[in-house]
Structure 1
Amino acid sequence: FKIFPCSCFYKQNPWTLDPKQTLRRLRGKEISDNEAEEEKEEEDKDDEEKPKIEDTKKIKEKYIDQELNKTKPIWTRNPDDITQEEYGVFYKSLTNDWEDHLAVKHFSVEGQLEFRALLFIPHRALLTSLKTRRKRTSNYVRCVFIMDSGDELIPEYLNFIHGVVDSEDLPLNISREMLQQSKILKVIHKNIVKKCLELFSELAEDKENYKKFYEVFSKNLKLGIHEDSTNRCRLSELLRYHTSQSGDEMTSLSEYVCHMKETQKSIYYITGETKQQVANSAFVERVRKRGFEVVYTTEPINEYCMQQLKEFDGKSLVSVTKEGLELPEDEEEEKKMEESKVTISNRLVSSPCCIVTSTYGWTANMEQIMKAQAFRDNSTVGYMMAKKHLEINPDHPIVETLWQKAEADKNYKAVKDLEVLLFKTALLSSGFSLEDPQTHSNHIYHMIKLDLGIDEDEVTAEEPSAAVPDEIPADVYWIFFSLLEDSRPARDSSQYGSEYPGFSF
C-alpha cells in the first residue's frame, strides 16, 4: 500500500523508513538532516568567536523635594503687608476681569470658629452665564480648594461679590449635602453678610465711589430689603433716592428724616417710571405746596421694596397715591375745613381731580408691572385693581364752573360728558391705563365739536383729495379724518388692520 503524508509540507515527498534520507524544505530549498546539523554547528562557532557585550550600567535615581511655589496664598497674609496692586492682580486672575476692583474687604475671624475671607466689589456687573451666576466665591479648607460656593455662603442679592473663603474647621472630605447641613457654614454665611454690609457703609463715605456702586448695584440692595428681613434696617440706610428738594443729587432716608418738619410724622413717597413723570404728578401737588419733601422712586423693584420696608427710623412710609393720606394741617386750614363741612381732596392744587387707590390696593405703577407678568393670577389682579377712588379739587376753576352750570341748568347736556371726560383724564394723569381708549377719544372729539358749534348731523368736511402730501400716506390721511368725523359714512377698513395695528375703526 502507499502512504500519503497529511502535512502540506511534504505533499510531493513520500516518507521513507530511513530518517537520513528524509528531505525537508528550508527557505525555498531542500536539504538533508545531516546538512542541517552541520549548519547549526557552524552558527554556534560564529557566536563563540563574537566579542561579548559588556553588562548594562546601573543608574542611581535621586529624588529632591523642592517647593516651587514659595508664595503664600494672598488671603492668608496680613492685610497690612499687601498692596493694592497685589489685590488687583489677584482679583483679575480670579474673575478674568480687565478692570480693577472698586473695593476690597480682607478679614479673618478667630475663636471657636476660624476662617479667612477676601471679598471684592467689581466696577460693573460682570457678564457670566446662568450656570455660574451664583458661583462667585471659592470655598477653601486649609488652603485646599473644595468647591465654588453659591447661596451657601453668600445670599442671592449679593451675587455680585467675588472672593475666596478659607475655613480651618470644615472637613476636607466635604460634599454639597454636608455643606447644606453644616452649622459652621451658617455662621460663616452670617459673618460674610455682616462684613459685606460694613464694606458698603465704608464705601458710602466716599460719595463719588458710592455713586458708581449705587448706579450698578442698587437693585441688589433693594432685593435684599425684600428678601433679608434680618438686615433690612441696615440695608435701608444704604438706599439713595431723588426727592422733590434734592435736585439732581440723590439723598438717603436718614438725610430725609433730618429735613423733616416738626409736625411731619411720615415719609411721603411716590412710585413711577421716570423722575419727570412723578415730579409732575397731581398726587404731589398739595404735599409739595405744604413744604413736605416727597421721595421719588422710579424703578419697578421699588414697589416691592417699599412694601417690605414700611418704616424707617420710626417714621412710617406713606404713598401719596393711596387713600387715607393725612397731612398735618395748620390752624387756619383746620378752621376752613370745619366751616365747609365738605370732604375734599387734600393733595390737589392745580389739577381738578385725581384717582387714588385703597390703602391695600396696587398703585398705578404696580398695576403696570403686574399686567406685564405672563403667569399672573387674574383673580388677584382683578381684586387689587378694583379699589379706586375719585378725588376732586373744589377750588379748581373747572370744578367750580361745572358745578355752577349744573346748578343753573339741571338739563345741561354736557355735564355728564364732562364728568366722564374728567374721570378718564384723571385716570391717565394718575398713571393708570384706559380699558377702552377709543371711547375716551370719542368723548374728546365730541367736546371739540360742541366747542366749535358743530352739529352732530352736519357733514363738516368733504372727501379727502387723493392728492395728499408725499410724506403722509393716503391711508393714514383717511384714518386721521375718519377719527375726527363721527358723522362720516362707514368705510371698509379691514384692509388697514394689518398695516396699522392698534387702531379701532
Structure 2
Amino acid sequence: MTVEAKKQTLGFETEVKHLLHLMIHSLYSNKEIFLRELISNASDAADKLRFSALSDESLYEGDSDLKIRLEFDKDKRIIKVIDNGIGMTRSEVQEHIGTIAKSGTKQFFESLTGDQAKDSELIGQFGVGFYSAFIVADKVTLITRKAGAPKSEGVRWESTGEGDYTLETVEKEKRGTEIILHLKDSESEFLDGWRIRSIVRKFSDHISLPIVMDKEIMPSYDDEGKEIENPNPLVEEETVNSASALWTKARQDISEDDYNQFYKHVGHDFQDPLAYVHSKVEGTNEYTLLLYVPSRAPFDLWDRDNKHGVKLYIRKVFITDDAEQLMPRYLRFIKGVIDANSLPLNVSREILQQSKQISTIKSGAVKKVLGMLEGLAKNEPEKYEQFWSEFGAVMKEGPIEDHANKERIAKLLRFASTHGDSDKQSVSLEDYVGRMKEGQEKIYYVTADSYAAAKNSPHLEIFRKKGIEVLLLSDRVDEWLVSSLDEFDGKHLQSVAKGQLDLGKLDDEEEKKHQEEVGKDFESVLNQIKEVLKDKISEVRLSHRLTESPACLVSDVYGMSLNMERIMKETGQKMNFGKKPIFEINPDHTLVQRLRAEQDDARFADLAQILFDQAILAEGGQLDDPAAFVHKLNGLLQGLLH
C-alpha cells in the first residue's frame, strides 16, 4: 500500500476553522440552505463532466444519464446527496475541502463585526458551499472518484468540522461524489421526504439537471385502522424539480422569486441580486442571456486572475465558466449564463478565442448590461447608488479597456466633487457639464490618494474663489481613467495640478495685470529659489492657482502626475519618473513676502526648503528627510519668538 493510500489525519487551515465556527452560528436561522449549496455543487460537477465528455466520451463510463440523487434514512439519521458528475482526485479533495483558496480571505475576516445578522450577510457573500453541511450535521463524510480514474482510486474524506479531517483512498464503483450528512439530534425535521422535497422546490427547482428521490408510497390501512404491510413494495424513482433550464422559459412564465433563486445558484450567493437582464437574440447568431448584478461585491473582485462569473452553454449544454471572451474585465462582477444556439457543441477553448460569433455575442451582452445599468441610473437612482458604491471603481476600468463603448460608460461614471461636502461619488459628467459656468471650456479635476487630500488640495483655491466645480478623484484607478478619458461631450478634462493654469474666459483681467506687475518684482527671488532647490525642481514660477497657501507643486502638462508617481513607486516600479515638478509660489502670501525680504542666504535657503517640503506634504507625499524639515521649521519658529 502506498503512503498516499493510507489514512491521513490533516488539520484544517485556521481560516477554515474560523469560517466553520462563524457559519454554524451566524447562518443557523437559515439552515435549510445547506441542501441548496450541496445540490448546486453537484450540478456544477455534472456540467463539468458533460463538457469534458464532449472530447472524451469514455468519461461517461457507460452512464450518460446525469442526475442528482437525494436519500435519507430516519434510523441512521443520515441524508445523502449523490451525483454522477466529474468527481475529484485525492489532491483535488484536499485542495477544495481542506483550504479556502480565495483572494480577499484576510480582508473578509477583518471585516466581520461580531453582529450575527451582519456577519451572516458577509459569510453568504464569501460563499461557503460545501461547508454549509456542518450547520445541520455533526459529522460529514464525502466519498468521490474522478471520472476516468480506476475504481481503486476513490477518496473518502470525513470530518466533524472541529479542526481536522481524515483522508484515505478507497474503492468506489461509480464515478462522482456522495456526501453523507450525519445529522445533529436537533435536526430531525430534515429526515422527512416532504420537507426535503419542499426545500428542493423552493431553492433548486430551476436546476436543469434532474434531482431524484425514491417515491414514497402512501400507507394503506385495514378497517380497524392498522397499517397493511406491503409484502413486495416497488420503489420508484421520481424527479422532484422541474429540471428545465430557467433561461429558456419565456419571461412572463418566470416569477421574481425564480429569477432570484437561480441567481443564488449560478452566483453562489445568499442575497438577492440587485438587478438582472433576460434577453433572447434571434437571427443568424442566436443566443439567450440571463445576466445579474450582485447586491454586494465579492471578496475576490480585485483578483484579476479570477474566473469570470458568466457560464457559456450551447443549446443548454454547459461548455465553460472560464470564458473570458464573454465579458470584459471591467464587468467581471456580472454573474449568469449565455446560451448560444449557433455554436458547435465540440467547440474548443482555442476556437472560442478566435470565434467571430463569440465576439458578436460578447458585444451584444455588454450592450445589454450597459443598458441595464443605464436603466438603473435613470429609473432607480437609489439602486444605482448602491451599485456604484460596490462596483464603481471597477467600472472606471471601462473607458480604458472598452473603446467601443467609451461614451456610454463615461455617462455611467460617478465622482465626488467640490459641489458637495460628501465623499460620496454621486456626480455624473453630465451633471458637471450642466453646472459649468458661462464661458467655462474644460472639465476640471484633481487626483489624490484620499478624498480628504483631494478636497483640501491647494490647487483648488482659485477654483473655490471663482465658484468653479472640480471633480475630486481619489481611487487609484482614476489616474489611468483620466489618461484614457480625455474628453466628454466635447469638453476636455483638465487636471488643476498640471501645466500653466489658463482659465480662459473665466480669468479676471485685473488679476492678470496684477500678476504681470508682481512678476517683475519677483524675478530675482525666483532665481534664488531655483538655485536653492535646483536638484528637486525643474522650474519655479509665480502661481495663478493659489489664494491661501504659500506654495504648491505642479506637474508638466504632458508629464506624470505626482500622485501617479507615488502609486508607481509603491508598486515597486523602478523607472525614471520623468521631469522634476514645477514649484509655484504665491506672491501675496505673508511667508513668501518674508522670503522676498530675507537678507540672510542661509535663512532664505531654510525657508525656501520649508515651503517646498510643505508643498510635498500638501500633495499627500512623503519627505525624504522629515527630521531635517522639523529642524528647519523649529529654527524658523524660534526666530519668530525673538
Q: Compute the TM-score of the two structures, normalised by the length of structure 1.
A: 0.71
| Aligned mate of 2:574, from 367, 377, 394 | 377
SS in 2 for 1:270: strand
- Tell me the distance in 2 between the aligned counterparts of 1:430 and 1:416: 21
- 1:127 shift after superposition: 4.2
Cα distance change, pair 108–93 in 1 and its aligned pair in 2 (3 A): same
Q: Which has the higher contact order (CA 8 A, sep 6+)?
A: 2
The equivalent residue for 1:331 is: 509
- Alpha-carbon displacement from aligned partner over 1:243-285 (angstroms, at most 9, x marks no partner): 1112325211110000001211111111112222222211100
User: What is the 5 A alignment of 1:209-288?
Assistant: 209-248=383-422, 250-288=426-464
- Alpha-carbon displacement from aligned partner over 1:469-496 (angstroms, at most 9, x marks no partner): xxxxxxxxxxxxxxxxxxxxxxxxxxxx
- Alpha-carbon displacement from aligned partner over 1:290-322 (angstroms, at most 9, x marks no partner): 111010011111111111111111111111111
Contact 1:242 1:297 in 2 (8 A): yes
Cα distance change, pair 445–132 in 1 and its aligned pair in 2 (3 A): closer
- Tell me the distance in 1 between the aligned counterparts of 2:501 and 2:325: 43
- Tell me the distance in 1 between the aligned counterparts of 2:390 and 2:370: 16
- Tell me the distance in 1 between the aligned counterparts of 2:635 and 2:514: 38
**Do structure 1's residue 75 and structure 2's residue 272 form an aligned pair?**
no
| Aligned mate of 1:91, from 248, 263, 272 | 263
SS in 1 for 2:321: strand
The equivalent residue for 1:192 is: 365
The one-letter amino acid paired with 2:415 is Y
| Aligned mate of 1:427, from 597, 602, 616 | 616
- 1:338 shift after superposition: 5.0
Cα distance change, pair 132–258 in 1 and its aligned pair in 2 (3 A): closer
| Aligned mate of 1:105, from 277, 280, 304 | 277
- Alpha-carbon displacement from aligned partner over 1:42-81 (angstroms, at most 9, x marks no partner): xxxxxxxxxxxxxxxxxxxxxx9x9986554211111133
Contact 1:115 1:168 in 2 (8 A): yes
The one-letter amino acid paired with 1:212 is Q
Cα distance change, pair 441–337 in 1 and its aligned pair in 2 (3 A): closer
**Do structure 1's residue 147 and structure 2's residue 345 form an aligned pair?**
no
| Aligned mate of 2:353, from 170, 180, 205 | 180
User: What is the 5 A alignment of 1:164-175?
Assistant: 164-175=337-348
Which stretches of structure 1, 4 residues or more, deviate above 6 A after TM superposition? Answer: 66-69, 129-132
The one-letter amino acid paired with 1:138 is K
Structure of larger gyration radius: 1
**Do structure 1's residue 308 and structure 2's residue 484 form an aligned pair?**
yes
- Tell me the distance in 2 between the aligned counterparts of 1:153 and 1:412: 66
SS in 1 for 2:326: coil
The equivalent residue for 1:12 is: none
Cα distance change, pair 338–96 in 1 and its aligned pair in 2 (3 A): closer
- Tell me the distance in 2 between the aligned counterparts of 1:245 and 1:68: 58
Contact 1:102 1:123 in 2 (8 A): yes
The equivalent residue for 2:595 is: 402
Cα distance change, pair 145–351 in 1 and its aligned pair in 2 (3 A): same
- Tell me the distance in 2 between the aligned counterparts of 1:171 and 1:222: 35
The equivalent residue for 2:51 is: none
The equivalent residue for 1:114 is: 286
Contact 1:361 1:387 in 2 (8 A): no
- 1:451 shift after superposition: 3.1
Contact 1:203 1:210 in 2 (8 A): yes
- 1:180 shift after superposition: 1.5
- 1:400 shift after superposition: 2.3
The equivalent residue for 2:296 is: 124
Contact 2:610 2:632 in 1 (8 A): yes
| Aligned mate of 1:295, from 457, 471, 476 | 471
- Tell me the distance in 2 between the aligned counterparts of 1:312 and 1:289: 25
SS in 2 for 1:99: coil
- Tell me the distance in 1 between the aligned counterparts of 2:348 and 2:403: 29
- 1:133 shift after superposition: 2.5
- Tell me the distance in 2 between the aligned counterparts of 1:118 and 1:213: 18
Contact 1:364 1:431 in 2 (8 A): no
- Tell me the distance in 2 between the aligned counterparts of 1:94 and 1:132: 19
- Tell me the distance in 1 between the aligned counterparts of 2:340 and 2:305: 22
**Do structure 1's residue 359 and structure 2's residue 557 form an aligned pair?**
yes
The equivalent residue for 2:583 is: 390
- Tell me the distance in 2 between the aligned counterparts of 1:194 and 1:218: 18
**Do structure 1's residue 208 and structure 2's residue 382 form an aligned pair?**
yes
Contact 1:318 1:325 in 2 (8 A): no
Contact 1:300 1:365 in 2 (8 A): no
- 1:339 shift after superposition: 4.9
Higher relative strand content = 2
The one-letter amino acid paired with 1:368 is R
Cα distance change, pair 271–159 in 1 and its aligned pair in 2 (3 A): same
Contact 2:487 2:493 in 1 (8 A): yes
User: What is the 5 A alignment of 1:493-504?
Assistant: none
Cα distance change, pair 85–411 in 1 and its aligned pair in 2 (3 A): closer
The one-letter amino acid paired with 1:281 is S
- Tell me the distance in 2 between the aligned counterparts of 1:237 and 1:90: 30
Cα distance change, pair 337–425 in 1 and its aligned pair in 2 (3 A): closer
SS in 2 for 1:419: helix
The equivalent residue for 2:543 is: 345
The equivalent residue for 1:417 is: 606
Contact 1:105 1:119 in 2 (8 A): yes
CA RMSD of aligned residues (A): 2.4
Matched-pair identity in %: 38
- Tell me the distance in 1 between the aligned counterparts of 2:515 and 2:261: 69
- Tell me the distance in 1 between the aligned counterparts of 2:552 and 2:300: 45
- Tell me the distance in 1 between the aligned counterparts of 2:636 and 2:240: 88
The one-letter amino acid paired with 2:438 is E
Cα distance change, pair 411–443 in 1 and its aligned pair in 2 (3 A): closer
Contact 1:120 1:163 in 2 (8 A): yes
How many residues were matched structurally? 381
- 1:359 shift after superposition: 1.4
The one-letter amino acid paired with 1:237 is K
Cα distance change, pair 131–354 in 1 and its aligned pair in 2 (3 A): closer
Contact 1:240 1:252 in 2 (8 A): yes
- Tell me the distance in 1 between the aligned counterparts of 2:565 and 2:583: 17
- Tell me the distance in 2 between the aligned counterparts of 1:180 and 1:325: 47
- Alpha-carbon displacement from aligned partner over 1:205-245 (angstroms, at most 9, x marks no partner): 21211111111111211112222122111111111111111
The equivalent residue for 2:185 is: none
The one-letter amino acid paired with 2:595 is L
Contact 1:268 1:319 in 2 (8 A): yes
Cα distance change, pair 363–171 in 1 and its aligned pair in 2 (3 A): same
- Tell me the distance in 2 between the aligned counterparts of 1:128 and 1:401: 54
Contact 1:135 1:148 in 2 (8 A): yes
